[in-house]
A and B are shown apart, each in its own frame.
Chain A
Amino acid sequence: MAFRKDLLLISSWIKPNTKVLDLGCGNGELLKILKQDKNISGYGIDNDIKNIKLSLKNNVNVLQMDLDKGLNGFELESFDYVVLAQSLQVIKNPKELLNQMLRIGKEVIISFPNMGHWSSRIQLLTCGVMPVTGNLPYAWHDTPNIHLCTIKDFLKFCKDNNFEILEHSITDNNQKTNSLTKMMPNLFGQIATFRIK
């Protein structure tokens, strides 16, 4: 199975020999590679039994839990990093979860699909329909994505909540940057990744 490109960026931000909690860990591939390459210890959390099985097959510690029920079981600053890759948009209460992530982790790494990308804007503007894109392939009525945001929205969210942005990366779906994503990230960026504390 090919490694998800957005996870390469995240793994490059994580220092060796640290503790990581990966929320919405999917098949556990991020932790698997971090364990192999950087001697990371940690846990994945997912609520889909299929992903629990896959993570176990990847020899990753995985906990079947519902992120919407919070992270109360974890102690203050028990992880160096708490990661939420491409799952912010499915969380019922993103602000509450972010606060919890910052409580139990020294730093938080978060990535999400940018709803401000021109392809989303143009569908709404010209066709008058809810955008359906490669990153967000669901129709409005059966989507798990209930809290979509743009990069601009997220920046404001961080400011309003006093989250300090340590590092960020705005790329296209292939994790590439170009002059357009640099010049107008909210219009041309497809994936946004932030490291905050």
Chain B
Amino acid sequence: MDENSIGYVKPTIVTIKNPLKLLSGRVLSQYNLIYETYGSLNKDRSNAVLICHALSGNHHVAGYYEGEEKPGWWNNMIGPSKPIDTNKLFVVCLNNLGGCHGSTGPISVNPETNKIYGSDFPIITVSDWVTSQKELMNYLDIPFWKFVIGGSLGGMQALQWSFQYPELINNCIAIAAAPKLTAQNIAFNEIARQAIMKDPSWHDGNYLDKGVSPNQGLALARMLGHITYLSDESMREKFGRDLKTPKLNFNYDVEFQIESYLKYQGEKFVTGFDANTYMLMTKSLDYFDPVKDMSQSLINNLQKSKSKFLIISFTSDWRFPPKRSKEIVKLLLDNKRNVSYSEISADGGHDAFLMGNHDYFDIMRSFILESNNGI
């Protein structure tokens, strides 16, 4: 366990009984949300932070589960004296609706039919997530978020919060995000979905009824995704053209280290992730386009917002490169919002938002510390 860890943590599940009308028109009459909290809510309930997770993330953001060696996915960022300092802040993170780690999703049983949802689980949008996160906020009796923070798809949720509930958020931090996906982004997502749907075990998404899973397709989708999370530089540095075997074998088995790495990533991923959730998350990404969706009321909302924004990008990120973050900055500038922007030099590609980086952490720490002084 690392020195500044918050130690052992446990998740909690809440059942929300307030029906959720989704953007698609469908209604979830009730649903579970699994979440973790770190630190403690202060007396005037003014130090709450919401962490939004990305495509494959979940509610286990920091700390350790008893008996497990690996901490939560953003353990380097969150903890005592870390940039998101749990000595001062009360951190909340949940598994998004449609996920497969404990919140209601495609692997859950539909209470209305008593059958596994499977492909019948509705497509959830970023805006639906924010609405469901607001339900958790009400349940925890949190009057406003001091910070809403997320990377990648999580950053999009943080932005959505500032459009959807501008009065409930004081600071928004969107890292390695984009205001909407490009054709190239959507193309990668579609290939991932096709890989899953072409798997013989797909069964139109109702594979669990048959006792199987489209693991080949899901692994392929993850391998493809993984390439877009890394940069050319980091792949060269990590793997180069190194061979796994002593010499070239003139066959199609795994020979290069990068092949072995991707295969491992794919195989590891399928043991803990559901294909329908992957389908849903990628669709949610594709649909995200708040500026286009923005009615005048959303623009008015944004202009009403007192929130400060911090937008961060990474130089080697080609999935959501700095120019995409600058589009967000421009939107905020045009609406005269308080915004700061930093472009971090990093080789890690899109995944840099999960890695330790001195400048990145300093920027986070400086912004959070200064914005937090107003408590």
Contacts and interface: CB of A to CB of B under 8 A. Distances in A.
A80 to B, nearest CB: 13
Given A62-B340, A63-B341, A73-B329, A52 B370 contact: no
A78 to B, nearest CB: 8
A108 B334 CA distance: 20
Contacts of A63: 329, 339-341
B366 interface: yes
Contact of A53 (B308, B341, B363): B363
A75 interface: yes
B204 interface: no
Contact of A64 (B308, B341, B369, B370): B341
Interface in A36-89: 41, 43, 49, 52-53, 55-59, 61-65, 73-75, 78
B101 interface: no
Contacts of B334: 75
Contact of B326 (A57, A62, A73, A75): A73
A144 B97 CA distance: 52
A58 B366 CA distance: 9
Contacts of A75: 334
B369 A57 contact: yes
A59 B369 CA distance: 10
A61 B343 CA distance: 14
A32 B60 CA distance: 39
A75 B335 CA distance: 11
A62 B367 CA distance: 11
Nearest to A58: B370
Contacts of A53: 359, 362-363, 366
Given A56-B370, A73-B326, A75-B334, A61 B363 contact: no
B333 interface: yes
Given A56-B363, A74-B333, A75-B334, A64 B342 contact: yes
Contacts of A56: 310, 340, 363, 366-367, 370
B236 interface: no
Interface string B296-324: 00000000000010100000000000000
B40 interface: no
> Which of A57, A58, A74 has most B Cβ within 10 Å?
A57
Contacts, number: 51
Nearest to A60: B340
A61 B329 contact: no
Given A63-B329, A73-B329, A74-B333, A57 B366 contact: yes
Interface string B77-115: 000000000000000000000000000000000000000
A58 B326 CA distance: 22
B268 interface: no
Nearest to B327: A73
Given A56-B366, A73-B326, A65 B341 contact: yes
Nearest to B368: A56
Contacts of B310: 56
B198 interface: no
B70 interface: no
B375 to A, nearest CB: 14
B370 A49 contact: no
B339 A61 contact: yes
Most A CB within 10 A of own CB, among B329, B366, B371: B366
Q: Which of A56, A58, A63 has the largest number of chain B CB atoms within 10 A?
A: A56
Contacts of B333: 43, 73-74, 78
B245 to A, nearest CB: 43
B369 A52 contact: no
A29 to B, nearest CB: 14
B330 interface: yes
B18 interface: no
Nearest to A21: B333
Contacts of A58: 370
Contacts of A65: 341
A64 B343 contact: yes
A30 B191 CA distance: 51
A56 B341 CA distance: 10
Interface string B221-251: 0000000000000000000000000000000
25 contacts: A41-B336, A43-B333, A49-B344, A53-B359, A53-B363, A56-B366, A56-B367, A56-B370, A57-B370, A58-B370, A59-B370, A59-B371, A61-B339, A61-B340, A62-B340, A62-B341, A63-B329, A63-B341, A64-B341, A64-B342, A64-B343, A73-B329, A73-B330, A73-B333, A75-B334
Those 9 A-B pairs whose CB atoms lie nearest each other, nearest first: A56-B366, A63-B341, A59-B370, A64-B342, A73-B330, A56-B367, A57-B366, A53-B366, A62-B340
